[in-house]
Amino acid sequence: MRFGRTVAPRRAFSIVELLVSIGIIAILLALALPSLANARAAARETVALANGRTLGMAFQTYIDRFKAYPFRTPGTSPDISIDITLPPDLLAVQWWPEGTIIATSSVWAMAHLWPGVLSEVAPWPENFPTWVSPGRSTELPQRKDPFADDDDDEEPFGDVSWRYSNSFIGSPTLWQAGAVPDPKLLRAIQPHEVQFPSAKVLAWDADLTFVPKEPKLVGDHYDWPTPMLFADGHAASKKPTEAKETMPNPLNFNSRIKLHNTAGGVRGTDY
């Protein structure tokens, strides 16, 4: 007697099982995506720190040539090849595109305009990608009118991400108790005046565009580990909000912004 083969019934997903599987996959993705975002942010932070070290080498090249940190004396020409007369209180620097000149009545704008001085040893085309936070466009800025009222993006102060500490454009005595608002205290700082170069911040990435979510703003800084360049050339991430307390700047409306107004100026420490 012959018997036919028994064929096993075909197994298929039910609608309920399919929905459960989709739900599990969604949960796993929800758990994994933040980790991936954090890993990407960490990688970009590493790039930002590398940018800081590269910036430090550019600053050192400038110091080797001019024996001082970048500074532009108000009232002087933005370039020795340009013969122009400026009011004594006007700070002027060369900008990009080539031939553009930016002028302002606030010497403290050097925090943003330092590339106009540093570009004498670090040209814009080669160095601009290291002057912006990872995640920002590395295309050179283009503009018709640097101060066009109808377009905030035309203003030059946001062209670069790194901020230059105001401590490096004023005498250390400006940030001591009883300091007087004497404009003569505005001057270039020489390297030997920086007493603790490994603890004095020279510049920092103020944009943090590599962070997945915009951090909380506390005062004038993000409450987040920020890539910083120190005066000795090393780079490290530290929270600006945890920097040491400051002294008021009598030449800048008694500003006490951390990293800019370090007690003792370049003779003091930030961390």
Model confidence at 37, pLDDT cuts 50, 70, 90, reads: low
Whether 154 has a pLDDT exceeding 70, the answer reads no
pLDDT mean over 12-34: 65
Residue 13: the pLDDT is: 59
Residue 15: the pLDDT is: 74
Whether 33 has a pLDDT exceeding 90, the answer reads no
Whether 147 has a pLDDT exceeding 60, the answer reads no
Q: Could you tell me which residues come within 8 angstroms of residue 223 by beta carbon, excluding any fewer than 6 positions away?
A: 215, 216, 217, 239, 241
Residue 149: the pLDDT is: 46
Q: Could you tell me which residues come within 8 angstroms of residue 115 by beta carbon, excluding any fewer than 6 positions away?
A: 93, 95, 96, 122, 124, 127, 128, 131, 159, 160
The H or E element that residue 259 is part of is: none
Could you tell me which residues are beta bridge partners of residue 205?
Answer: 162
CA–CA distances in Å: residue 204 to residues 21, 201, 265: 47, 8, 16
Least confidently predicted of 11-25, 29-43, 141-155, 226-240: 141-155
Model confidence at 186, pLDDT cuts 50, 70, 90, reads: very high
* pTM of the shown model: 0.84
Least confidently predicted of 57-66, 98-107, 163-172: 98-107
Whether 171 has a pLDDT exceeding 60, the answer reads yes
Model confidence at 143, pLDDT cuts 50, 70, 90, reads: confident
pLDDT mean over 179-201: 97
Whether 11 has a pLDDT exceeding 80, the answer reads no
Whether 153 has a pLDDT exceeding 60, the answer reads no
How many residues are recorded in the chain? 271
Model confidence at 21, pLDDT cuts 50, 70, 90, reads: low
Residue 148: the pLDDT is: 47
The H or E element that residue 163 is part of is: strand 162-164
DSSP, collapsed to helix, strand or coil, labels residue 218 as: strand
pLDDT mean over 189-206: 98
Are 215 and 230 spatial neighbours (Cβ–Cβ below 8 Å)? no
Neighbours of 65 (CB within 10 A): 10
Structure tokens at 78: 């933005």
Residue 83: the pLDDT is: 75
Model confidence at 141, pLDDT cuts 50, 70, 90, reads: very high
Whether 60 has a pLDDT exceeding 50, the answer reads yes
Residue 86: the pLDDT is: 87
Q: Torsion-angle region of residue 181: left (phi > 0), alpha (psi -120 to 50) or beta? A: beta
Model confidence at 150, pLDDT cuts 50, 70, 90, reads: very low
**Which is nearest to 203 in space by CA: 23, 79, 105, 62?**
62
pLDDT mean over 51-73: 98
pLDDT mean over 135-162: 75
